[in-house]
Structure 1
């Protein structure tokens, strides 16, 4: 089985290498934006969008694998990573921030990548502004799902006034090691397959996140937005947006995903007009981190 232990000449796993970062004023906040190193300036641009609770670091390995083909850019969305919260942190607000970022920083359509809630925001962006998107790659996108799951109940609890704050506060009181192990089990299909350096980088980011004062509110806003999207009427739903996306779409689902039920992949492939599917039975919620080589190959096939 493949893992993402790919390394550079200095022996450091790709997933443990941070891209150079800069600050870009967008929508009243200074976004932290990372640029994939080593990519030629004349390559087609790519935008990588992380999910709820994630950051630009979720795309490190995949972006480096693709830096001979696209010029990657990955922001920390408001309220996540190293970008402070500047207002509501829902799907529509994220899409608006991303549109403004593209209009400011990129003068041509991008290959757009989105994971989880970032996938939902990417769908909204591609539906609203097809002129900005060349292709769309969605990894476990947070599209409305009819089946009630443990994660859906957790989102519902977070989205409930007062209850959500209580749930978050109780979680934060747990010892860090316990929360870290729970996060590994929830996000990755097989945490034991992670290279030690990558596991350490993931742990360090979670520890750093504990110090950010905006994390709780951003998490509540995101959970409420995901829940609202699942309750939207059909004509205003993300599925309606998906049906409008005409560019080539790559859908990636993991068989061990505990947050997005991979059984929705059939509906997703039917709904997007021009979609192909990659199903990874051993992957969890972040295939771009766990199996980046397979995601890389599928993307290259998509654009070829």
Structure 2
């Protein structure tokens, strides 16, 4: 069994891109409480441009429900997956918790990330989100271990997280869900401003942009990737 700080190997599936494509693979990181199936409607369209890798994060889907629920543990799981797949250049697309994990990967290994899409990614400012306590006997691993640990981190973020934004070299698209989101959009704008090469866009949908407005989300992401591809 993994210790709390040991990375675990994530269940994932891969859809090959066009033959001979040199575009970096797209790695799609789901949000908290879900799994990789949230990206099912997007895999085929995105695989027309590049190979697509869809993992289940720790404690979600088919991945192990063991060890720590810290954001650094989740980051290290993704880094282990990319190393196992021998991927030295990727595009990360993350929603909510997945966006935070993708951002941490880009901060830890800037040269690994060719481009970054952050959909409703929690900004590195104190968020004041309620942290659950006292769990039912049948509560999931996510509810018991990951969600409380992540919320505590978001409510009292390490100042180094904000400082590390300046080290992200990848072109970045930050997507906010507008006034219906529970995350502060002004803080998300500030996060985008601190990234060296980022653009902020508001799309409808509150916190769940890609599930509720898939066509708009896909169109925005593909337009961003078309622009970013010129620098690969």
2:192 match:
269
Q: TM-score, normalised by structure 1?
A: 0.65
Q: For 1:42-191, what aligned pairs fall within 5 Å after superposition?
A: 42-43=20-21, 44-146=24-126, 148=128, 152-153=129-130, 156=131, 158=132, 164=133, 166=134, 168-169=135-136
1:40 match:
18
Q: For 1:185-264, what aligned pairs fall within 5 Å after superposition?
A: 214-217=141-144, 220-234=145-159, 236-237=160-161, 239-264=162-187
Structure-2 separation of matches of 1:130 and 1:124: 10
Give the Å deviation of 1:257: 4.1
Native 8 Å contact 1:134 1:247 kept in 2: yes
Structure-2 separation of matches of 1:147 and 1:84: 29
Native 8 Å contact 2:125 2:157 kept in 1: no
Structure-2 separation of matches of 1:253 and 1:106: 32
1:250-279 Cα shifts (integer Å, max 9, x gaps): 001112544323232321221111001220
Native 8 Å contact 2:10 2:77 kept in 1: no
Give the number of the structure whose alpha-carbon radius of gyration is greater: 1
Partner of 2:136, secondary structure, is helix
1:85-134 Cα shifts (integer Å, max 9, x gaps): 12102210011111111111143300111111111111111011012110
Query: Mind listing any 5+ residue stretches in structure 2 that lack a counterpart?
Result: 1-5, 228-232
Q: 1:297 aligns with which of 211, 219, 226?
A: 219
Note the aligned Cα RMSD (angstroms): 2.3
Native 8 Å contact 1:33 1:74 kept in 2: yes
Native 8 Å contact 2:7 2:80 kept in 1: no
Structure-2 separation of matches of 1:290 and 1:62: 13
Q: For 1:8-27, what aligned pairs fall within 5 Å after superposition?
A: none
Structure 1 runs of 4+ aligned residues shifted over 6 Å read none
Partner of 2:68, secondary structure, is coil
Partner of 2:11, secondary structure, is strand
Structure 1 residues 278 and 62: CA distance shift in structure 2, 3 A: farther
Structure-2 separation of matches of 1:116 and 1:95: 14
Native 8 Å contact 2:9 2:77 kept in 1: no
1:183-208 Cα shifts (integer Å, max 9, x gaps): xxxxxxxxxxxxxxxxxxxxxxxxxx
Higher RCO (CA < 8 A, seq sep 6+): 1
1:53-88 Cα shifts (integer Å, max 9, x gaps): 111011112222212112111111111122121210
Native 8 Å contact 1:253 1:262 kept in 2: yes
Partner of 1:31, secondary structure, is coil
